[in-house]
Amino acid sequence: MANRIFRAVVLGPPGSGKGTISARIAQSFGLQHLSSGDFVRENISASTEAGILAKTYIDKDLLVPDCVMTCLLLPRLEQMTRHSWVLDGFPRTLAQATALNDTCSLDVVISLNIPLETLKERLRHRWIHPASGRVYNMEFNPPQVHGMDDISREPLVQRDEDKPEALVARLRHYKDIAKPVIDLYRSKGILHSFSGTETNKIWPYINSLITGKIPEVQGASQTLPLHSQEQ
Ligand code: AMP
């Protein structure tokens, strides 16, 4: 792994478990976990120009425009040419996928296909801490104190976009914009789709896919120092 860079993207609708799967990949294989949502929140906290602009869209439960997202993310990826990473939350649109393609080459794209009923059920119980993006599920992963973030102790909120009335439209919108992205990666021969209702049951398949792609990282702990946090 020391002389082999590995890059993966995880695609999936809201509630599909992309964040959880990406974190497991990062931990198991010693890759950096990059999340576009985290980049956006960092920029909002730092009041950068892009962050201020992005916030006006997030406040309206809209996707941040492609040009803002690519300006935020691609320079960061360009700084990481010597690092292996797994990226979640980006690309969400074909324009973003094309821009990413111009910046770096990907080894694997994982697409999570989760049944609609499962997504609805997960999002119904999802509460978040807006400032950090920490996500809780009131059924499976509740906070220590009801309604409060474990670390900051600030109140959790349910995003309007996660509420049942907004969900179906949001999932349909996701499908429409994700389809050309998925088609692009399929045509490149790097798309791997996984279906199921439980992250824990999907994980072994993803684990063996990546182990097969980078067998030399088996025993991830040996590689971790090579992928220490950027900056
Ligand atoms: P997330 O934590 O992935 O749910 O991202 C939080 C919010 O940031 C999303 O609801 C979007 O408004 C915005 N965002 C994150 N990634 C992207 C992206 N690739 N394209 C557009 N907007 C994004």
DSSP 79-126: TTTT--EEEES---SHHHHHHHHHH---SEEEEEE--HHHHHHHHHTE
218 pLDDT more than 90: no
Angle among Cα 141, 144, 148 to the nearest 5 degrees reads 95
Q: What is the pLDDT of residue 158?
A: 87
Q: What separation in Å is there between the alpha carbon of 3 and the centre of ligand 1?
A: 32
C-alpha of residue 10 to centroid of ligand 1, in Å: 14
Q: Is residue 201 part of a domain?
A: yes
Mean pLDDT value across residues 151-160: 90
DSSP one-letter string for 27-78:
HHHTPEEEEHHHHHHHHHHTT-HHHHHHHHHHTTT-PPPHHHHHHHHHHHHH
* Catalytic member of 159, 163, 186, 213: 159
13 ligand 1 Cβ < 6 A = no
Q: Which of 126, 153, 186, 213 is catalytic?
A: 126
Kindly report the CA angle at 26 between 24 and 31, in degrees rounded to 5?
165
- Give the model's pLDDT for residue 215: 61
Q: With a cut of 80, say whether residue 148 has pLDDT above it.
A: yes
The reply to whether 230 falls in a domain is no
- Band of the pLDDT at 2, cuts 50, 70, 90? very low
pLDDT band with cut points at 50, 70 and 90 for residue 121: confident
- For residue 172, the domain's CATH number is 3.40.50.300
Report pLDDT for 37: 92
Residue 24 among the catalytic residues: no
Alpha-carbon distance of 8 to 92, in angstroms, equals 14
Is 187 among the domain residues?
A: yes
Spacing, Cα 58 to ligand 1 middle (Å): 8
User: Residue 13 — very low, low, confident or very high, per pLDDT cuts 50/70/90?
Assistant: very high
CA 51 to chain centroid, in Å, comes to 18
Q: Does 19 count as an annotated binding residue? A: yes
Q: pLDDT at position 135, please?
A: 87
Q: How confident is the model at residue 223 (pLDDT cuts 50, 70, 90)?
A: very low
Q: In a mutational test of the pocket of ligand 1, which residue from 21, 40, 181 has the highest number of ligand atoms less than 8 Å from its CB?
A: 40
Contact 6, 84 (CB under 8 A): yes
For residue 85, the cross-strand partners are 7, 32
**Mean pLDDT for all residues in the chain:** 88
Cβ of residue 40 lying under 6 Å from some atom of ligand 1: yes
SS3 24: helix
Is 228 inside any structural domain? no
Mean pLDDT, residues 115-129 taken together:
88
Domain holding 135, by residue range, is 7-217
Strand order in the sheet with 7-11: 32-35, 85-88, 7-11, 108-113, 191-195
Lowest mean pLDDT among 101-110, 168-177, 189-198: 168-177
Residue 222 belongs to some domain of the structure: no
Residue 137 and residue 219 in contact, taking contact as beta carbons nearer than 8 Å = no
Cβ of 69 below 6 Å from ligand 1: yes
Residue 172, pLDDT > 50, answer yes
Q: Note the pLDDT of residue 163.
A: 76
Task: For residue 189, tell me if it sits in a domain.
Answer: yes
Q: Is the pLDDT of residue 216 over 60?
A: no
What is the structure's pLDDT at 3? 52
What does residue 110 show for φ and ψ, rounded to 5 degrees?
Answer: -105, 125
Q: How many domains does the chain have?
A: 1
Amino acid (one-letter) located at 129: H
Q: Is-catalytic flag, 159?
A: yes
Q: Is position 223 within any domain?
A: no
